Amino acid sequence: MFWRRGYNATSVRDLGSELELTSSSLYRTFTDKHSLFLRALDHYRETEHAEPGMKGGPSSGWPTGCRSAEAAERLGADGPVAEVLRDWLVWTVSHVDGRGCLVVNSATELGTADAGVSERVGAAFSTTREALTALLDRGRRTGELAAGLDVEQVADLVFTLVLGLRVRERAGQSAAELATTIDGTVTLVTGPSA
């Protein structure tokens, strides 16, 4: 529900109905709405490959395009850097219903007003940026990318682009429009021959 509606638009009554709990049971189990939200955000960030058919699993129809652990795994994949980068960028915006990324949605809805959310968003962003930096550094070391490439700066640029892609996805931009941006990004980072 938090993913579909956002934190502020989800009431305790909505959560109780969804979880089949009375308000008092919900409070006994999760303390309050905010605590439940932080737990949901933690679960979302940490979930990589849930069992098929479970909420969040590969066959459930739930988008998986921004879970931190899986993003790091994908960015650490073997293969040419240009292919790994493109595959990851496409994965970040692949979706079923346009809900976008819960982490990005939470960052844009709650910003720095909520310290718990801000801390989790920062950790998720750091995990992904570190994996992206490692991929670009590997490309520089193997000669797939320019020897003088400032990997920190390019990682920051690409990561910022990913956040923009996720917002565009959430706003309903077509896969073709996003693919054009992704291909342009890969060419910009790796050179026209990639």
Report whether pLDDT(67) > 70.
no
Mean pLDDT, range 90-101, rounded to an integer: 72
The verdict on domain 33-190 having CATH code 1.10.357.10 is yes
Residue 58: the pLDDT is 36
Distance CA 102, CA 32 (A): 19
Residue 181: the pLDDT is 94
The angle at the Cα of 19, spanning 14 to 20, to the nearest 5 degrees, equals: 95
Of the listed ranges 30-39, 64-73, 137-146, 165-174, the one predicted with least confidence: 64-73
Mean pLDDT, range 126-149, rounded to an integer: 95
How many CB atoms are located within 10 Å of the residue 69 CB?
16
**Percentage, residues of the chain above pLDDT 90:** 43
Q: What is the pLDDT of residues 6-57, one digit of tens each?
A: 999 999 989 988 888 888 888 888 888 999 999 999 888 877 433 333 343 3
Mean pLDDT, range 141-149, rounded to an integer: 95
Map tokens 């921004």 to a residue: 66
Report whether pLDDT(61) > 70.
no
Residue 111: the pLDDT is 83
Sequence ranges of the domains in the chain: 33-190
- Phi and psi of 183, rounded to 5°? -60, -40
Q: CA distances (Å), 37 to each of 13, 47, 48, 116, 158, in order?
A: 14, 15, 19, 10, 29
pLDDT band at 100 (very low <50, low <70, confident <90, very high): confident
3-state secondary structure the chain: CHHHHCCCCCCHHHHHHHHCCCHHHHHHHHCCHHHHHHHHHHHHHHCCCCCCCCCCCCCCCCCCCCCHHHHHHHHCCCCCHHHHHHHHHHHHHCCCCCCCCHHHHHHHHHCCCCHHHHHHHHHHHHHHHHHHHHHHHHHHHHCCCCCCCCHHHHHHHHHHHHHHHHHHHHCCCCHHHHHHHHHHHHHHHHCCCC
Judge if pTM exceeds 0.85.
no
